[in-house]
Structure 1
Amino acid sequence: MEKKEWYLEYEIQYNRPGLLGDISSLLGMMSINIVTINGVENSHRGMLLLCKSEEQIMRLRSILNTMDTIKITKLRRPKLRDRLAVRHGRYIHSDIDDKKTFRFNREDLGVLVDFMAELFMKEGHKLIGIRGMPRVGKTESIVAASVCANKRWLFVSSTLLKQTVRNQLIDEEYNEDYLYIIDGIVSARRASERHWQLVREVMRLPATKVIEHPDIFVQETEYKMSDFDYIIELRNNDDEEITYETVEKEAKTNDGFSMFDF
């Protein structure tokens, strides 16, 4: 029988010496292997486990529930957020009301790049929006995640170097292996019919699309926020408010355009 991964996370109620050793010994006696282990913020510890049957996990849960030194907070098949929590030793926080919105600070760029790379490696259509103020690291993080995911990226519109607006692609660029990047504000300000025709062609491709400033993008198109699979918010700090007035003023000061305008 093929072994399957499980995610165990527990909160330490009383951190006595040898606690981790006791849990590790228990897992060993039950023939459950520890793949990865790490502290996960505050007094939580997370583990990726490998075992043959769900019955082993049920027995493990029963035994751990009798221990007054720990409290199980998660015991399930691992989700992407679980894997990243163990890998980086911290949670990825999502919006309380909108579970598809994930929040990061600039100090979390490494976690963000890892998170997006995992999304980019999944096959098929995905629509990802990313919000943030100018120079917070949005485009750079997208490109870095593309490299980690071994994906080729293509700017349909962007302000990374100077404002780029594509009106057409060559045949080889219509490829589901590409990651397509669209800046919602740049596209809105240079909304020629040729450009928007290209945007719609790209949106129909069974590939990953990342839209910077998705709120502006949906104002100018027939797409809705509900069409997005993930929304990422990147801030310089927890208290920063993402305001599009400042972002649009920043875009207007950049009058340079690339050769792809024509």
Structure 2
Amino acid sequence: MSKKEWYLEYEIQINRPGLLGDISSLLGMLSINIVTINGVDQGCRGLLILAKNDEQIARLESILQTMDTIRLIKIREPKLRDRLAVRHGRYIQRDADDKKTFRFVRAELGLLVDFLAELFKQDGHKLIGIRGMPRVGKTESIVASSVSANKKWLFVSSTLLKQTVRNQLIQEEYNVNNLFIIDGIVSTRRASEQHWQLVREIMRLPAVKVVEHPDIFVQNTEFSLEDFDYIIELRHEHDEKITYELGNNHLFSNATFGGFDF
């Protein structure tokens, strides 16, 4: 019988020498293998483990709950956030009210790239929005994640190297394995009806689409934030406010966009 992977997380209550050895010995006695171990939060450790059956995990959980040196937090089949937490030694911050919103700072670009790459590897339609101020690393993170996921990326609209606004694709580019990148501000301010027709065609493809500045994108299209599967927020620092200021431009009545390069 093949072994099944589980995620185990516990908080240290009494940090004494040999505690990790005790946990490792317990796993060994239950014939459970450790795949990876790392600190995932202050005072917490996360482990990916391999067990032959659910009974081993049930016995492990029962024993861990009797230990006064630790507090069992999670024991479950690993989610993407669990795997990345063990790999990077920190948890991805998730909005408490909006479960599809994830927050990163620039110092966590490696974690962000890994997270996006795992999402990009998944088959089928996926719509991802990325919020952030200019030059925080949004487009660079998308491109790096595409490389990591072995995906070809296509700019439908962008300002990475020069302003890009495409009105059509060649036939080979309508590939569901490609990743399509749209800048919501550029599309809104500079695009023609032909461009928007192309955007609608791309949205119907069972492929991954990434929209920078999704709030502006939905203000001026028939799409809504409910259509997005994930929203990523990227900041320079945790307390940075993401704002859009455009002075007296009345094109956008509810948002303004200063400091953006077009």
Q: TM-score range, shorter-chain basis?
A: over 0.9
Q: What's the counterpart of residue 209 of structure 2?
A: 209
**Distance (Å, rounded) in 1 between the aligned partners of 2:121 and 2:86:** 19
AA partner of residue 248 (structure 1): F
Alignment equivalent of 1:249, drawn from 223, 247, 258: 258
Which residue number in structure 2 is paired with residue 43 of structure 1?
A: 43
Any unmatched runs of 5+ in structure 2? 247-255
Cα shift at 1:248: 2.8
Deviations along 1:64-110, whole A, 9 cap, x unmatched? 11110000111100000000000000010101110100000000000
In 1: Cα distance, 2:94 partner to 2:57 partner: 27
Residue number in structure 1 paired with 2:99: 99
Alignment partners' CA distance in 2, 1:97 and 1:191: 34
Counterpart Cα distance in 2 of 1:86 and 1:236: 24
Matches within 5 A, 1:105-116: 105-116=105-116
Counterpart mapping for 1:1-262 below 5 A: 1-245=1-245, 248-251=257-260, 254=262
Deviations 1:176-226 (A, max 9, x none): 110000000000012311000000010000000000000001111111101
**Counterpart position of 2:251:** none
AA in 2 matched with 1:148 = S
Question: What letter matches 2:103 in structure 1?
Answer: R
| 1:249 Cα offset (Å) | 3.2
Task: Give 2:259's aligned amino acid.
Answer: E
Deviation sequence 1:22-64 (CA, Å, 0-9, x none): 1101101111110100011210000001111111111100001
Question: For the residues of structure 2 that align with 1:94 and 1:57, how far apart are their CA atoms?
Answer: 27
How many equivalent pairs are there?
Answer: 253
Secondary structure in structure 2 of the residue aligned to 1:206: coil
Q: Report the TM-score, using the length of structure 2 for normalisation.
A: 0.95
**Partner Cα distance (2:259, 2:199) in 1:** 23
Q: CA deviation at 1:238?
A: 1.0
More helix by percentage: 1
Structure 1 consecutive aligned stretches of length 4 or more whose deviation exceeds 4 Å: none
Looking at structure 2, the residues matched to 208 and 187 of structure 1 have their Cα atoms a distance apart, in angstroms, of 18
The CA deviation at 1:163 is 1.0
Q: Whole-Å Cα distance in 2 between the matches of residues 143 and 95 of structure 1?
A: 25
- How far apart, in 2, do the equivalents of 1:188 and 1:29 lie? 61
CA offsets, 1:118-147, max 9 Å, x none? Answer: 100011100000000000000000000000
Q: Is the 8 A contact 2:165 2:191 kept in 1?
A: no
TM-score by length of 1: 0.95
Secondary structure of the structure 2 residue equivalent to 1:176: coil
- Cα deviation, residue 5, structure 1: 0.7
Unaligned residue ranges in structure 1 (runs of 5+) = 255-262
Query: Residue 211 of structure 1: SS of its match in structure 2?
Result: strand
Q: CA deviation at 1:2?
A: 2.1
Distance across 2 between alignment mates of 1:154 and 1:139 = 12
**Structure 1 CA distance, aligned partners of 2:235 and 2:180?**
23
Q: 2:128 is aligned with what amino acid? A: I
